[in-house]
Structure 1
Amino acid sequence: MSQSLLGRVSAVGWGCCSYSTLKSCLPILSWLPRYKLKWLQMDLLAGLTVGLTAVPQALAYAEVAGLPVQYGLYSAFMGGFIYALLGTSKDVTLGPTAIMSLLCFSVVGGQPHQAVLLSLLCGLIQAIMALLRLGFLLDFISFPVIKGFTCAAAVTISFGQVKNILGLQDIPHDFILEVYYTFYRIPEARIGDVVLGLLCLSLLVMLMLMKKSLGSDDTPYSTSSRFARKLVWTVATMRNALVVVAATLVAFSWNGYGHQVFTITGETSRGLPPFRPPPTTYITDNGTVVSFGEIVEGFGEDLVVIPFMGLLESIAIAKAFASQNDYRIDANQELLAIVSCLRLTSRTAVNSQTGVCTQAGGIVTSVIVLLSLAFLMPAFYYIPKASLAAVVICAVAPMMDYQVVANMWRIRKLDLLPFFVTFLMSFWQVQYGIVGGIAVSGALLLYNTARPQIKVSDHGVLVMELGSGLSFPATEHLSHIMHTQALQASPPRSVILDCHHVSIIDYSVISEIRDLLRQFKLRKVRLYFARLQPSVLKVLLAADLQDLVYTHSVDAALQMESGTSSMTDANFVQSQNGEEMFDAEQKEFSNSADQ
């Protein structure tokens, strides 16, 4: 006995340590052994292109998070290395996103030490979710909630950059106050920042429209036309880097002549920060020591909201590009891959359009970011904040999807309720918008569960067809309809309950059915159950309900009620002896299915 048990344990151990299991945990073992030299050129090109996009965006998103610009680069370089080992999508790139930057600012208020600690805690929560295979929880966040949040985030982020376009300082970060003081202080706007910001915005929009107007690559072109299209595509793809570099040169030139025309980024730290755990305590300006517990308590519900939104954004993007490029991803493996980073749609799109072949493209992007940290930080001193604001606005503008409102109005108007609740509450507090939208979506879901559609038809006897499952919230609704339309009618009427769509039943429903059967018997009418699924029938028989009558079909119940069938007919059975009758009935179900 012990030897047999030892053998099983040994077999399980070898199975867990097998090469196939290792490949599922480390997807790099699947694509690296078959790596081709011709892929290297495409991965290098894609990594370089994405890197030139990632660096200015990382700097800009650090501004959104209220952090020094180097923190944007700190969060952008590690993702490529990790994802190359653990990721299952060749197109996905990792790094800071506008939405996560906004959420980060709403929690830590631009304090770097708290931002680092928040990242660590969110990563730990995501890791636990991945190990426990809790990715299914993301299914409970509905599409209207996601869209409401992203639209509100786009408005909040975009307007938050208007002050940088205008060159205004010390504007409150609360959205309502931000709107008020931005308009109130427009007379204080710096002409240089306004001109440069609007010029950068115009160039970015123009290059973006040029890229969209290129059309499909399938159309045959001459050699010169192909070269021109490729040149336009390259310039338009690297538009963020080109605009920021040009604006930096302009700012550097003016500063060289002693004119402080633009609001610039200022001093930045060079290289990587010291490798050490994030501080778990800090001292406020008045000398008060804030403990780790107080910091975590201050994070509140955001410790749940931020990991969920990061995972949701990431997996949705990965699935979209996997479907577009005809391959599949492992959702649970993706959870592990994104523990320390977050994805960005625009960079992933650039990666895909450049023709990346493997996850090695992310390694090249990460190297570009590291080189920027090592050698370019002094140059970042002269980056005008107006140019970074223009990059952010153009990056988040596509998130304002007005068409989705019209689509929801046309398809199902009720979905607009969680959308607008999320959208409006997000202007108060971003996290409240998400939680409020999820609560409304959950209430609608529970309402549909508690009020399933019941189609009632009159065939001399009432036939009630349940349009969905039957669980405990629906018992009162079902009982009310039974009483009002059958038991309280004059005279009382029999009912055939068509349970074809019912796949699960619980104890609360059983208790209500027992009471209904008693009520029907007292009024000398019958309650029939038709087309029960075997799993539901087994539960009903196990409950040993008195006077339970069930049939294979609605027609069989109608025949019995009309008197053309007897109580011993094979098409229906009255419950008296549970298990034997269930076995016979299950065989009948199987035979019917085979036919």
Structure 2
Amino acid sequence: MKSINLMNAVKKRVPIVTWLPKYSFDDTLGDLVAGLTIGLTLIPQAIAYAGLAGLGPQYGLYSAFAGSFVYIVFGTCPEVNIGPTALISLLTFTYARGIPEYAVLLCFLSGCVTIIFAVLRLGFLVEFVSTPVVSGFTSAASIIIASSQLKGLLGLTIHGESFLDIWRELFYKIGETKIPDLVLSCCCIVILLSLKFIREIETSNRFLSKFFWFLGTGRNALVVLLCATASYIFESQSTVPFILTGQMIAGLPKVEPPQFSLNNGNQTVDFLEICQNFGSGVIVVPLISIIGNVAIAKAFSRGKALDATQEMFTLGVCNLVGSFFHSIPVTGSFSRSAVSNASGVRTPLGGLYTGILVILALSLLTPYFYYIPRATLSSVIICAVIFMVDIELVKSVWKSSKRDLIPAIVTFLSCLFAGVELGIMVGVIIDILILIYFNARPTMYIEYRNMQSSSYVIVRPSTGLLFPAVDYLRTYLTECLTEKKRQPRKSQMNIVLDGLHIDRIDFTAIQGINSVAKDLKEVGGRLILLNPKDEILMSIQSYIKENILVARTDSELTAALKKVDGFLPNVDKNIKSSEMFNGKTIIRITDTNNVSTNL
């Protein structure tokens, strides 16, 4: 039994054990084509994203192969490609400030935190970040990323980091724009966008359709290759009119652990000081990485059950291992995963060919990366991120739930003007406040029933009763008691608390119910619990020994009410059935002597 359980655990946590024995020749062809296609997409992106993180281009390639190899062993979704992304590169620049040692250590810490989340099964924390908050954060980050690359498009030197600083410097330096870089940028953007839409053209000619698709998929590599060739020709004849990427360290990175302390001149910055400099980044970076990676895996799971814990664990190991190869933080890329899916990937082994292609680029092609214009890399980044601005979601939210626009808009504006790290926190806080508010203000269905033998008020909360909601409930019940005290004649006041939807209750709520029962007793009424769940009734009766009645069925409720006189507060006897809305409270008045309308 133990050996069987161990084998099941191994298959669950090391999925390659399950699919590798079934690997076929057809799988090899599919993975080979997809892996090479992803490699051609990844290499120019990795170089560009390294610049976005404020690092040398080689760090982008260092980050592009280790994750691919690790995901082969532990990954569950064949389409997912692990590597640098625009969003995580921006966060890396925010927290590492362009210091390579900081970026690598952030990758290591991000991996450790993600693994801890997976081991403790804390994936539910991601659920506190709603889709509108993620959309607002992603849209703002896309605009910040695009803004940060304008300097490359225009051939300017701008040191601003925040959205406002970038545009302020851009305003003062716009006159220094280098025309050759601007012309090259415009040409690159036109070509990239044109090839993107060419990929989606469908023709009856299968070969032509495949050619268009491959041309669109490899557009980044094609544009980078053409521009680098043009720069090489310019240099061989005279001078290059564009600003170039410059020298890049050739060869594979040295395999070593990240530096946990850093010598800054005569001063040593220890590990704790570096962590203090990271601040919330130690949590924000892995959190955003997890959200993105799990979302991608869900999108390509094709309805199959997804083991989110395993994906979190795999992502953590990818970052942990990658930090030993001088990688910056990585996560799954939706664009590359979509290309992988369209390329016909069969298993995670497609990452093997992607990783090999990146290693070959590091080993053989690094001297030629010198000729890549910075304007070209900026164009690649901008054309990748402009489609991340989620306008369609705003339209959908406006039609379905306008309230959700609040966290989306606040997150968007906070990220733009206060910083991405603060923006995501503000968004999460607003989400939690909204969640608390609706737990504190559950919908209350209050119905006044006028019977021949008795009248009563039935209160039906739409959810459980927790301490923020108990005062809200007592407010409405107190109003009923106030109306009772104003009655000119002696009459019985009864309130029925319907427990149909009450699936949880806490001590403060029980105390509140007890107070209501005592108030009712003072005016000669009773509190009746209708249809309470067993565990809820046990919790209430453990504290409240008297003052309440319990009715399991409507017939038991009718029998209990026949013993008392009726009371219907402030109700027109001519009303048969009506419905009134007071905030989140739905009030229905029914005269059971007549035929009432079902609502």
Give me the TM-score of the superposition, normalised by structure 1: 0.88
Structure 1 residue corresponding to 2:404, chosen from 401, 412, 415:
415
Q: How many residues align?
A: 542
Q: Contact 2:201–2:209 at 8 Å: present in 1 too?
A: no
Cα distance in 2 for residues equivalent to 1:558 and 1:191: 87
Q: Contact 1:466–1:502 at 8 Å: present in 2 too?
A: yes
The Cα shift of 1:32 comes to: 0.3
Matching of residue 300 in structure 1 with residue 300 in structure 2: no
Q: Contact 2:201–2:212 at 8 Å: present in 1 too?
A: no
Q: Contact 2:75–2:348 at 8 Å: present in 1 too?
A: yes
The Cα shift of 1:562 comes to: 3.9
Structure 2 residue aligned with 1:62: 50
Q: Contact 1:462–1:486 at 8 Å: present in 2 too?
A: no
Q: Contact 2:118–2:310 at 8 Å: present in 1 too?
A: yes
The Cα shift of 1:41 comes to: 0.7
Cα distance in 2 for residues equivalent to 1:530 and 1:376: 76
Structure 1 residue aligned with 2:449: 459
Give the letter aligned to residue 214 of structure 1: E
Per the alignment, do residues 485 and 564 of structure 1 end up closer, same or farther by CA in structure 2, a change over 3 Å counting? closer
Cα distance in 2 for residues equivalent to 1:426 and 1:284: 31
The Cα shift of 1:273 comes to: 2.0
Cα distance in 2 for residues equivalent to 1:447 and 1:361: 47
Structure 1 residue corresponding to 2:478, chosen from 483, 504, 509:
483
Structure 1 residue aligned with 2:229: 249
The Cα shift of 1:558 comes to: 4.6
Cα distance in 1 for residues equivalent to 2:354 and 2:555: 67
SS where residue 32 of structure 1 aligns? Answer: helix
Give the letter aligned to residue 547 of structure 1: N
Counting only pairs closer than 5 Å after superposition, residues 97-112 of structure 1 correspond to structure 2 as 97-112=85-100
Matching of residue 508 in structure 1 with residue 508 in structure 2: yes
Give the letter aligned to residue 181 of structure 1: E
Q: Contact 2:411–2:423 at 8 Å: present in 1 too?
A: yes
Structure 1 residue aligned with 2:425: 435
Q: Which runs of 5+ in 2 are unaligned?
A: 320-329, 451-455, 566-599
Give the letter aligned to residue 363 of structure 1: L
Structure 1 residue aligned with 2:252: 272
The Cα shift of 1:19 comes to: 1.7
The Cα shift of 1:210 comes to: 1.3
Cα distance in 2 for residues equivalent to 1:101 and 1:381: 21
Give the letter aligned to residue 536 of structure 1: I
Structure 2 residue corresponding to 1:403, chosen from 385, 392, 400:
392
SS where residue 76 of structure 1 aligns? Answer: coil
The Cα shift of 1:493 comes to: 3.2
Deviation by residue 1:63-113 (Cα, 9 ceiling, x = unmatched):
111111111111110111111100111111110111111111111111101
The Cα shift of 1:564 comes to: 9.3
Cα distance in 1 for residues equivalent to 2:51 and 2:202: 32
Cα distance in 1 for residues equivalent to 2:470 and 2:271: 48
Q: Quick check: 182-191 or 375-384, which moved more?
A: 182-191
Taking only the aligned residue pairs, the percentage that are identical comes to 35
SS where residue 426 of structure 1 aligns? Answer: helix
Cα distance in 1 for residues equivalent to 2:287 and 2:346: 29
Structure 2 residue corresponding to 1:310, chosen from 279, 289, 311:
289
The Cα shift of 1:556 comes to: 4.2
Structure 2 residue aligned with 1:541: 541
SS where residue 214 of structure 1 aligns? Answer: coil
Cα distance in 2 for residues equivalent to 1:82 and 1:45: 20
Cα distance in 2 for residues equivalent to 1:478 and 1:298: 47
The Cα shift of 1:453 comes to: 0.9
Give the letter aligned to residue 426 of structure 1: C
Structure 1 residue aligned with 2:163: 175
Cα distance in 2 for residues equivalent to 1:97 and 1:535: 49
Structure 1 residue aligned with 2:517: 517
Structure 1 residue corresponding to 2:23, chosen from 35, 44, 47:
35
Q: Contact 2:83–2:331 at 8 Å: present in 1 too?
A: yes
Cα distance in 2 for residues equivalent to 1:457 and 1:488: 15
Give the letter aligned to residue 431 of structure 2: S
Matching of residue 336 in structure 1 with residue 313 in structure 2: yes
Deviation by residue 1:346-380 (Cα, 9 ceiling, x = unmatched):
00000001110111101111111111111111111
Q: Contact 1:130–1:335 at 8 Å: present in 2 too?
A: yes
Cα distance in 2 for residues equivalent to 1:210 and 1:58: 23
Structure 2 residue aligned with 1:585: none
Counting only pairs closer than 5 Å after superposition, residues 94-243 of structure 1 correspond to structure 2 as 94-214=82-202, 221=204, 225-243=205-223
The Cα shift of 1:52 comes to: 0.3
Cα distance in 2 for residues equivalent to 1:488 and 1:545: 27
Deviation by residue 1:449-493 (Cα, 9 ceiling, x = unmatched):
111111112113111111112111111111111112335543473
The Cα shift of 1:181 comes to: 1.4
Per the alignment, do residues 556 and 412 of structure 1 end up closer, same or farther by CA in structure 2, a change over 3 Å counting? farther
Matching of residue 470 in structure 1 with residue 497 in structure 2: no
Q: Contact 1:163–1:171 at 8 Å: present in 2 too?
A: no
Structure 1 residue aligned with 2:527: 527
Structure 2 residue aligned with 1:589: none
Cα distance in 2 for residues equivalent to 1:536 and 1:147: 39
Q: Which runs of 5+ in 1 are unaligned?
A: 1-10, 216-220, 566-595
Q: Contact 1:487–1:523 at 8 Å: present in 2 too?
A: no
Give the letter aligned to residue 312 of structure 2: L
Cα distance in 2 for residues equivalent to 1:559 and 1:256: 102
Q: Contact 2:123–2:309 at 8 Å: present in 1 too?
A: yes
Q: Contact 2:445–2:460 at 8 Å: present in 1 too?
A: yes
Cα distance in 1 for residues equivalent to 2:10 and 2:509: 46
Q: Quick check: 481-490 or 493-502, which moved more?
A: 481-490
Structure 2 residue aligned with 1:388: 377
SS where residue 332 of structure 2 aligns? Answer: coil
Q: Contact 1:496–1:554 at 8 Å: present in 2 too?
A: no
Cα distance in 2 for residues equivalent to 1:271 and 1:246: 23
Give me the TM-score of the superposition, normalised by structure 2: 0.88
Per the alignment, do residues 71 and 530 of structure 1 end up closer, same or farther by CA in structure 2, a change over 3 Å counting? same
Per the alignment, do residues 496 and 544 of structure 1 end up closer, same or farther by CA in structure 2, a change over 3 Å counting? closer
Q: Contact 1:494–1:526 at 8 Å: present in 2 too?
A: yes
Cα distance in 2 for residues equivalent to 1:200 and 1:554: 74
Q: Quick check: 525-534 or 358-367, which moved more?
A: 525-534
Structure 2 residue aligned with 1:494: 494
Q: Tell me the C-alpha RMSD between the 2 structures.
A: 1.7
Deviation by residue 1:4-59 (Cα, 9 ceiling, x = unmatched):
xxxxxxx6x5455x322211110001110011111111110000000000101111
Cα distance in 2 for residues equivalent to 1:89 and 1:303: 26
